[in-house]
Structure 1
Amino acid sequence: MSTVSNQSAISRRQVWSAVASMAMCAAMLIASEFMPVSLLTPIASDLRASVGMAGQAISISGLFAVATSLIIPSVTSRLDRRHVLAGLAGLMLMSLVLIAEARSFEMLMAARALLGVTVGGFWSLATATIMRLVPEESVPKALGVLYTGNAVATSFAAPIGSYLGSVIGWRGVFWALVPIVAINLVMLLVTLPPMKTRASQDGGANALALLRRPHVSFAMLAVMLTFAGAFEVFTYFRPFFETYTHVGVLRLSVLLLGMGLAGFAGTYGASALIGKRLFHLLMALPVALAVVTLIMLPAGHSFGAAALLAIAWGAVNAAIPVAWSTWLSKGVKDKPESGGGLMVASIQLSIMVGAELGGTLLDHYSIGATFLSGAALLVLSAIVVGSGRRLRPAV
């Protein structure tokens, strides 16, 4: 799996066009996955389901993402990665059409399951594909571009979805995404070079077998603690701002938009620092996120303070996936696709666990308990990372 041979076959312009196409695909995935959150009530009403049932239909994509991320490297081991990624984009397109046309709760569930397959497959292969497209020294920069697509969707999907939903209806919102994803599918086919993989190189490996490597086991533990802590807090920002800061819908939208826009700065900053400070960042970022989370509890009653802290939180949080993707490109260099699958499974599981834990604490105690628990998980992840020695592969 030689990056050098790939580079000699295609121009630098095509390489970065391919990276841009993948960034667009990442943005469409994030938008498709999280857009329903802002449309949950009308979806539930239209399909004659409870809001809780509609929420289950949304979360089912995470379960299918976990399963897909663990098996896709071996299932697609002999297939051209260009065709696999385009096929996953095609599944996303099909999912959006089915969601827009869903006339029953069951159809919505099936469509979300298809989207979960795309989410698990794309993110499992993304880092390995970037490693094959660009020279090793450009990998952090390319990953930064990829996660810029993530930041764009995180910033704008929810507010745009909420607004358009009131104008053209929730089905219209998903129909509006269909032509954009179709264009992205064509772009992937045009810009990505052929990338055939031999099973012996990576795809035949069992992702779970990588846990036998001590540095991978420690890394996955740190990943799960980091993302569980982050999403335990992130999932319940709305009730926090409503009860602590006492904001209405307009100010809440401003806070969430500011948090999302700050992700651009976090992504750029991580890309700039990560080359020489990777392990420092892996340890420092969750600590910084925990500190900001804890400061929110006493300071969150002021809108101005809450806004500044939300921006800081968004910037730090956006840097975390860039850092861990860069670790993957270095720590599991010989099995990047299997490693990517394992990381995606770990992240998706931790997101579900973090959201569930946060909700339980919120229901039985308070939003403060949710934030304290999330901060504790983030600090534990930093302890696991330590100096970074545990995360370095054995020589």
Structure 2
Amino acid sequence: MHDEATLVSRKARSSRLPFVVYALALGTFLMLTTEFVVAGILPDIAADVQVSVAQAGTLITVFAVGMIVGAPLMAMLTLRMPQRVTLMLALGLFALGHVVVAAGSDFGVLLAARFLTALATGAFWAVAAVVATRVAGPGSGSRAVGVVNAGGMLATVLGVPLGAFAGQLVGWRGTFWALAVLAVVAMPMIARHVPRGGAGHRSVSVRSELAALRSGRLWLVLAACAATTGGVLAAYSYVAPLLTEQTGIPSNLVPLVLAGFGVGSLAGSVLGGRLGDTRPHTATIAAPLATALILLTLCFVSSAPIPTTVLLVLLGLFGLGANPVLISLAVRYAAHAPTLGSSLSVAAFNFGTAAASWIGGVALGTGLGALGPVAVGTAIAALTPIPATALAVIQRRRGTGAGPEAVNALS
């Protein structure tokens, strides 16, 4: 009886994630807040800097482009640097970029500052996923990444709506000032709780890292990353004009709808992370199929406030639920180059965001109006099951799964 109680106690302890995972989640909370917050204050920014809403939407696109370039580039540049130092430097650069946006008045300066911020965000996100996977240990990698991602999803519940409210109360610039301050506050927490060591203390080379690019399964994961996020962000990037112009929801209630999307995405990230350690391919195939169906339905009921709100909550739940699973698979299939694998997944997510938000902006100016981005998102989401299914077939033929075991060669 005593031995059985001890075994249960040990199992309970092993199932708990280290506190550092939650500290990293705080960082991703800030990172995703800045990526998504622009969607809720887009009309205010456009009016202030005297550009169209579609032009202001390029602030989302250029951020995504910065993440595409920044995640793998910063992963290579900081390869020999301790991961703790990389995370702190990323937060500092993040804060600087927000100060420039908050104080700037020229639209070109705003675009440049958003690009700078994206470089920092890409570096932080890529390294955070690797650190979380490493400290969680075998069997809990996807769950740890799910918690880190949940910090980002919490941004859509609290950060983005609060940012939109702050924009209405003190102007959109106040939102960026607040993010800069919070990034500075987060630096000591990262310094204290992220363990010393990591990639910077092992012998590494760019050539050995780039060898991971030979993995065909890695490229299938990256294709799924781009499509799954592109489908959601094509619609979400222009959700404010959809809600105010098509649905008829007052602008002061838009943050509440955004919070609903955030609640769905937070739940999806946690649930997806848990499922990813046992049935990863189920998550990566089922989630985008549900997303495409949700977006298609939204095209037909967007004039009704309640169905539209419910569908946006479901879009958050299914649309971003597979992301932690895909990140874990990218880390796994990159083998001995986990940071590169993680950074490439970040780049792929944002390639999908950049392409989809740009196409969505073009569609916004067509006869479809506010429904244009939703139609674009539907088409992109429908493509996601193709690489996800191909990956599942390859794994079945090999007789192995991405399975409950996680990558453990991360230090």
**Same fold, TM-score > 0.5, yes or no:** yes
1:149 alignment partner AA: G
Match of 1:335 in 2: 337
Q: Deviations over 1:119-145 (max 9, x none)?
A: 121122222111222212222221121
8 Å contact from structure 1 (residues 218, 390) kept in 2:
no
Higher share in helix: 1
Letter of the 1:117 partner, please give it. Answer: L
Select which of 379, 386, 390 maps to 2:394: 390
Residue 312 of structure 1 aligns with which residue?
314
Deviation at 1:321, TM superposition (A): 1.2
Q: Relative to structure 2, which stretch is displaced further, 282-291 or 348-357?
A: 348-357
Determine if contact 1:216/1:391 at 8 Å carries over to the other structure: no
Confirm or deny: 8 A CA contact 2:143 2:276 kept in the other structure. no
Which of 73, 76, 79 is 2:78 aligned to? 76
Secondary structure in 1 matching 2:81: coil
Normalised to the residue count of structure 1, the TM-score between the two structures is: 0.86
Alignment of 1:234 onto 2:242: no
CA distance 1:355–1:203, shift in 2 (3 Å)? farther
- Hey, what's the Cα distance between the residues in 1 that align with 2:183 and 2:383? 39
Q: Which moved more, 1:190-199 or 1:314-323?
A: 190-199
Counterpart selection for 1:273 from 272, 275, 280 = 275
Deviation, 1:107, is: 3.9
Distance 1:333 1:57, change over 3 A: same
Q: Kindly indicate whether the alpha-carbon contact (under 8 Å) linking 1:288 and 1:316 is maintained by their aligned counterparts in 2.
A: yes
Counterpart Cα distance in 1 of 2:25 and 2:285: 26
Cα shift readout 1:348-394 (whole Å, capped 9, x = no counterpart) = 11111111222333433425564344323222221222261336897
Query: What corresponds to 2:406 in structure 1?
Result: none
Q: Residue 3 of structure 1 corresponds to which residue in structure 2?
A: none
Counterparts of residues 198-277 of structure 1 (less than 5 Å): 204-205=206-207, 210-277=212-279
CA drift of 1:37 comes to 3.8
Going from structure 1 to structure 2, the CA distance change for 1:33 and 1:259 (only over 3 Å counts) comes to closer
CA deviation profile, 1:59-93 (whole Å, cap 9, x unmatched): 33322222222222221121111111111111112
Q: Which runs of 5+ in 1 are unaligned?
A: 1-10
In structure 2, what is the Cα distance between the partners aligned to 1:31 and 1:316?
Answer: 19
Q: Give the percent of matched residue pairs that are identical in Structure 1 and Structure 2.
A: 23
337-346 or 218-227: which moved more?
218-227
Tell me which moved more, 105-114 or 348-357. Answer: 105-114
Aligned-partner residue type, residue 387 of structure 2? V
The one-letter code of the counterpart of 2:85 is H
Partner SS, residue 195 of structure 2: coil
Question: 2:91 matched to which residue of 1?
Answer: 89
Matched residue count: 385
Aligned ranges 1:2-151 → 2 under 5 Å: 16-44=18-46, 46-47=48-49, 54-151=56-153
Distance 1:281 1:182 in 2: 36
Q: For residues 178-237 of structure 1, what are the alpha-carbon distances to aligned partners after superposition, in whole Å with 9 as ceiling and x for unaligned?
A: 332222100000001112426976662477654432212222222222222222222233
Amino acid at match of 1:332: A
CA contact (8 A) 1:207 1:341 kept: no
- Kept in 2, the 8 Å contact 1:219–1:385? The answer is yes
Work out the CA distance in 1 between the residues paired with 2:57 and 2:361.
Answer: 13
- Deviation, structure 1 residue 44: 4.9
8 Å CA contact 2:60–2:237 kept in 1: the answer is no
Structure 2 residue corresponding to 1:361, chosen from 346, 350, 363: 363
Letter in 1 for 2:381: L
Mapped contact 2:39–2:240 kept (Cα < 8 A): no
TM score, norm. by length of structure 2: 0.83
Task: Confirm or deny: 8 A CA contact 1:73 1:205 kept in the other structure.
Answer: no
Q: Say if 2:61 and 2:357, in contact at 8 Å, map to a contact too.
A: no
Name the CA distance, whole Å, in 1 between partners of 2:52 and 2:20.
Answer: 42
